[in-house]
Structure 1
Amino acid sequence: MKLTFLGTSAGKPTKERNVSALGVEFEQDNKWYLFDCGEATQHQIMRSRLSSGKLETIFITHMHGDHYYGLPGLLSSKKLDTAFRPLTVYGPKGIKKFLECVLDVSLANLGYELKIIEFKADDSFVFDKFTLKVLALEHSVESFAFYIKENDITNKINEKKLRAMGLEPSALYGKLQKGNNIILQGKELKAVDFTLEPIPGRSLIIAGDNCRPDILGRYLEEIDLLVHECTYTQEDYDHLQVKIMHTTAKELGMVVQKRSVKNLIASHINPRYNKNSTEGVEVLYNEIKHNYKGRLFIANDFDIYRLGRNSIVEKL
């Protein structure tokens, strides 16, 4: 499973970071999924290895502009790219009204099927490779996280055992994979005897803006990967004259350590933490790491990460 960060800034774009967008790919799949679509996401896609023609589904975490203002441009460019694959947009209440208004006023004729689905907390959806559950977060507007559970692999054939019996890969392998017994040299081979133990699917949460990471509760326990905002250090947040409902590095580290999260990728970085300031992203990393002993990454634009079946995240 690969994650490509297309935008990692909080609130507004900077010279280093665009606003929120994340592409997710599964192995042996001819499509990919986009989580959030901030302004200029289509530009970021063009600079990445991803293709708008293979984009099939978009998920929007909440109705703040830095998470969905990129939709009109991306949807329109899809037509100009002659990418007519149907597209589904999942989002909170309001996303349907927004898109229908934009498309109506601009007289856009997309030329492909666009489906808009508004969800609420605890809704679940089933896809080819995974199931997805919508989880409520705490923010200044309704905000959500997506709990993704990859399907288990339950029909993997013991090829080594079959080859040892003299059966090379053939159509008979396919019959065994479907659970059918076969006859080889007059002897019945039972599918159950040549099927490996199921390989558990990976699990991750991709969260929108949120001031309480602990609100995810039991969904965090033993999860393979959490992608979560980390907008401020605790000290900077404490000195804000107007408190904004975001997560601090200290709080994030404490929660994921308590819940035994295996891997954490922090994103949604406040523009104050940049290469030219006295405080770079290292202060966020160090504050999380002080409290969290798992694998930690601070995402940058165009970073690509792989979540392996061994539950280890690696930066590519």
Structure 2
Amino acid sequence: MQLTFLGTSAGKPTKERNVSALALQFDQDNKWYLFDCGEATQHQIIRSRLSIGKLDTIFITHLHGDHYYGLPGLLSSKKLDKAFRSLNIYGPKGIKKFLECVLDISEEHLGYILKVTEFEAEETFVFDKFSLKVLPLVHSIESFAFYIKENDICNKLNEKKLRAIGLEPSSLYAELKRGRSITFKGEKLEPKVFMLDPVVGRSLIIAGDNSRPDVLGRYMEDLDLLVHECTYTQETYDNLPVKVLHTTAKDLGIEVQAKRVKNLIANHINPRYNKNSTIGVEMIYNEIKRSYEGKLFIANDFDVYRLGRDSVIEKLY
């Protein structure tokens, strides 16, 4: 499972970071999924190793501009690239009206099927390789997280055991994988006898803007990976003249440690934390680390991470 961060800034783009967008790819798959689509996401895709032609589905966490203003340009460029594969968009109530308005006023004829689904909290959707549940968050408008559970692999044969009785790889293997009994050397073989234990699918949450990570509750317990906003350090937040509903590094660190989250990638970084400032992203990292003992990364644009089946995450580049 691979994650490519296309935008990691909060609210507005900076010289270092674009606004929110994250790509998710599954092993041995010919398509990929996009979570949020801030302004200029299509430019970020061009600069990555991803192909718009293989984009299958877009999920929008909430309707603040830095999370979905990039949709019109991306949809139009997909047509110009002659990438006519159908596209699915899932988002909160209002996303359909937004897209219908943009496409109508611009007289844009996409030339491919665009299916838009407006979801509600607690809905579950099933895809080829995973299921996705929509979880409510706490923000200034409706905002959501996506709990993603990869399908368990239940059809792995114990080839060593089969070879031990003289059955080499053949079409009979396929029959066992389909759950059908076979006859070999006059003996009936039952599939369950020659199946390995299921390989449990990985679990992750990709969250939109949220001021209270604790609302994710039991879904965070022993989670393989949490991707969550971390807009401010606690000191910065406490000194804001006007409080906004975002997570602080202190709160995030305490909560993920309490729920035993195995890996955390923090993103949606406020522009004040940058390379030319006296306060850098290391302040966010250090504040989370005061409470959290798991593996932690602060995402930058174009960072690529791989989450292994052993729940170990590594930064590829």
- TM interval, short-chain normalised: over 0.9
Task: Indicate the residue corresponding to 2:162 in structure 1.
Answer: 162
Q: Partners of 2:129 and 2:217 in 1: how far apart?
A: 25
Q: How does 1:41-190 map to 2 (within 5 A)?
A: 41-190=41-190
Task: Indicate the residue corresponding to 1:253 in structure 2.
Answer: 253
Q: Partners of 1:162 and 1:28 in 2: how far apart?
A: 26
Task: Indicate the residue corresponding to 1:191 in structure 2.
Answer: 191
Q: Partners of 1:215 and 1:180 in 2: how far apart?
A: 44
Task: Indicate the residue corresponding to 1:280 in structure 2.
Answer: 280
Task: Indicate the residue corresponding to 1:205 in structure 2.
Answer: 205
Q: Partners of 1:213 and 1:62 in 2: how far apart?
A: 16
Q: Partners of 1:256 and 1:221 in 2: how far apart?
A: 8
Q: Give the deviation of 1:43 after TM superposition.
A: 0.6
Task: Indicate the residue corresponding to 2:306 in structure 1.
Answer: 306
Q: Partners of 1:307 and 1:151 in 2: how far apart?
A: 15
SS at match of 1:223: coil
Q: Partners of 1:184 and 1:108 in 2: how far apart?
A: 61
| Counterpart amino acid of residue 99 in structure 2 | L
SS at match of 2:242: coil
Deviation >4 Å, runs of 4+:
none
| Counterpart amino acid of residue 195 in structure 2 | T
SS at match of 1:291: coil
Q: Partners of 1:217 and 1:165 in 2: how far apart?
A: 49
Q: Partners of 1:47 and 1:171 in 2: how far apart?
A: 44
Q: Partners of 2:126 and 2:143 in 1: how far apart?
A: 21
| Counterpart amino acid of residue 75 in structure 2 | L
Q: Give the deviation of 1:164 after TM superposition.
A: 2.6
Q: Which runs of 5+ in 2 are unaligned?
A: none
Q: Identity of paired residues, percent?
A: 75
Task: Indicate the residue corresponding to 2:18 in structure 1.
Answer: 18
* Cα RMSD (Å): 0.7
Q: Partners of 2:166 and 2:4 in 1: how far apart?
A: 43
Q: Give the deviation of 1:166 after TM superposition.
A: 2.6
| Counterpart amino acid of residue 38 in structure 2 | G
Q: Give the deviation of 1:187 after TM superposition.
A: 2.0
SS at match of 2:265: strand
Q: Partners of 1:173 and 1:77 in 2: how far apart?
A: 45
Paired residues, what number? 316
Q: Partners of 2:176 and 2:85 in 1: how far apart?
A: 34
After superposition, give the CA deviation of every residue in 1:216-268 in whole Å (9 maximum; x if it has no partner): 11111111110000000000000000101100000000000111111000000
Q: Partners of 1:42 and 1:165 in 2: how far apart?
A: 55
| Counterpart amino acid of residue 309 in structure 1 | R
Q: Partners of 2:163 and 2:11 in 1: how far apart?
A: 57
Q: Partners of 2:239 and 2:64 in 1: how far apart?
A: 24
Q: Partners of 2:181 and 2:122 in 1: how far apart?
A: 40
Task: Indicate the residue corresponding to 2:37 in structure 1.
Answer: 37
Q: Partners of 1:167 and 1:273 in 2: how far apart?
A: 61
Q: Which runs of 5+ in 1 are unaligned?
A: none
